[in-house]
Structure 1
């Protein structure tokens, strides 16, 4: 029997840092909202089948209804409303999953360029390692600051974390029973706080999180490149 695979897509943010009228996940990218591109990446995966849970802000539910009318295939997606912090939004989604043995991936709604290969690798590695996170190399030169003091750091000692972060359901469900801590920056930190080891896998450089206006410009360029590649093939 096939072990069920869930993807929780977190899209409950207001996107204030983008400075746009609409939340960043609803900004258009090649005529379609960023969030829909992200969802399509998982719905259209060539080898894996996912049950998708989408976490939205209460104020965006009407907008989602309109998108479901426009893109009718979105209607079966389960909707969960977000909480005060990302932690609470993810917990709200996890609490709706009743399967005892399954795999749960958690992905940012504004990461539409995660590759099919990274998704497949994450869900393959989780069978053995229980907690899997894609990462890429740290490219910029970095310095650590401490008040007025600062010092250079070896960038090869650091990795840039991406999503989807994928977990054995038993582990992530247990971890999300922990009371919220300000040091919970992502799902891996929640799981790690509860004593589990994280397996890192290679992500893909294009898998950017669209947060700032410069990211939106980069996303438009990436989408254009993707379209040219698709047409040429």
Structure 2
């Protein structure tokens, strides 16, 4: 049942996005990976922002990823309800960081404020689940969480031998968000011994002897842990949307740039890294011919001008600018247009310096800046067979292609 505006309690949400996603295998954290054309993190942020009870959102991420989170959020970062803070090494450290933001406001927090603590790795959050959690709190629970029945037969094992069968009738799988009264859960975290690790916040309420209510979860709230989980969620999304599923708007843009070598010594900034070179590259900015071409490819796919229009060389503020900031800006423009970068391809044309020893370092840097997996970035190099200005080692040329998908909203958050 949906919660009516007359009975609504203000709700804050803490979204935990500080994990390192080691099981994904390619170095890109799962909360930033694309899911059906949008970064995973965007789904839960949107789910809470579109719920009528939501008054605040605190996104907790690694300190090194705060700039990336702002870029991914696009225009959502300007919503006054949204805060971003850095987390800790453990889940409970990140939760406490989020609680600190909510409990150290200038104004006295509303004593009726509820807080939902949610894992960003559970992106598909229906509004109906939030409604059920709020209703449980209004009925007097000290905390509430969504659960799913355990459908598989469970076995105990000893090494590789089956030791017994577990009675699953009293078991359930816990999901997030888990909901609490802000003051209560903040105190429980403050009082909890720092050296004892917990895997979810409900454990603290259980230990406190308070009533915890279970509400019906949703299979779409499954946690993304492996690459295969993405395929499962996409299948669930497609089945839910059925005939309403829209054909994605696929865009391809091309970019080209040239910079001559300067008279000064190297290194040369190419593809976001410093490459050993007899000479640097002459330019108003840092002269990164590779990133400049990639920016223009993205702008081209968006129909959004070119790098010269966004960063005019006539303006002193771009003197010696880091071209990584230009690419981050282009990625931000994608987020504002609800466009997701699917692939970036860069070709460098030069006689020197040697590119191949640095190819993968460039790919890693570009993938990090664009928040896409390493295997979605291509970097190639070729010569012009001693022809033209590149053949005479007077400079470097670069051409790039960007493939984007502009997606319509992929989930109805007003179901219930």
What is residue 64 of structure 1 aligned with on the other side? 69
Aligned to 2:27, the other structure's residue is in SS state: coil
Cα distance in structure 2, aligned partners of 1:225 and 1:38: 20
Larger radius of gyration: 2
What is residue 214 of structure 1 aligned with on the other side? 228
What is residue 194 of structure 2 aligned with on the other side? 180
Aligned to 2:206, the other structure's residue is in SS state: helix
Aligned residues: 230
What is residue 163 of structure 2 aligned with on the other side? 150
Aligned to 1:93, the other structure's residue is in SS state: helix
Cα distance in structure 1, aligned partners of 2:158 and 2:57: 42
Distance apart, 1:207 and its partner CA: 1.0
Say if 2:116 is the partner of 1:105: yes
Matches within 5 A, 1:34-183: 34-45=40-51, 47-68=52-73, 71-76=74-79, 77-98=82-103, 99=109, 101=111, 102-127=113-138, 128-145=140-157, 150-177=163-190, 178-180=192-194, 182-183=196-197
Cα distance in structure 2, aligned partners of 1:3 and 1:129: 14
TM-score normalised by length of structure 1: 0.90
Cα distance in structure 2, aligned partners of 1:20 and 1:152: 37
Structure 2: unaligned runs, 5 residues or longer? 1-5, 104-108, 247-411
Distance apart, 1:169 and its partner CA: 1.6
Cα distance in structure 2, aligned partners of 1:192 and 1:107: 18
Per-residue CA deviations over 1:122-143 (Å, capped at 9, x if unaligned) read 0121121120011010011112
Cα distance in structure 2, aligned partners of 1:136 and 1:229: 28
Q: Give yes or no for contact 2:66–2:85 (8 Å, CA) kept in 1.
A: no
From the superposition, tell whether residues 156 and 35 of structure 1 become closer, same or farther in structure 2 (CA, over 3 Å): same
What is residue 291 of structure 2 aligned with on the other side? none
Cα distance in structure 2, aligned partners of 1:229 and 1:195: 48
Cα distance in structure 1, aligned partners of 2:179 and 2:243: 28
Aligned to 1:123, the other structure's residue is in SS state: helix
Aligned to 2:58, the other structure's residue is in SS state: strand
Aligned to 2:102, the other structure's residue is in SS state: coil
Aligned to 2:65, the other structure's residue is in SS state: helix
TM-score normalised by length of structure 2: 0.52
Cα distance in structure 2, aligned partners of 1:230 and 1:188: 37
Distance apart, 1:84 and its partner CA: 1.6
The Cα RMSD (Å) is: 2.3
From the superposition, tell whether residues 58 and 117 of structure 1 become closer, same or farther in structure 2 (CA, over 3 Å): same
Distance apart, 1:23 and its partner CA: 0.4
Cα distance in structure 1, aligned partners of 2:28 and 2:18: 13
From the superposition, tell whether residues 205 and 181 of structure 1 become closer, same or farther in structure 2 (CA, over 3 Å): farther
What is residue 15 of structure 2 aligned with on the other side? 9
What is residue 195 of structure 1 aligned with on the other side? 209
Distance apart, 1:219 and its partner CA: 1.6
Say if 2:39 is the partner of 1:33: yes
Aligned to 1:95, the other structure's residue is in SS state: helix
From the superposition, tell whether residues 22 and 146 of structure 1 become closer, same or farther in structure 2 (CA, over 3 Å): same
Q: Give yes or no for contact 1:100–1:169 (8 Å, CA) kept in 2.
A: no
Structure 1: unaligned runs, 5 residues or longer? none
Q: Give yes or no for contact 2:39–2:72 (8 Å, CA) kept in 1.
A: no
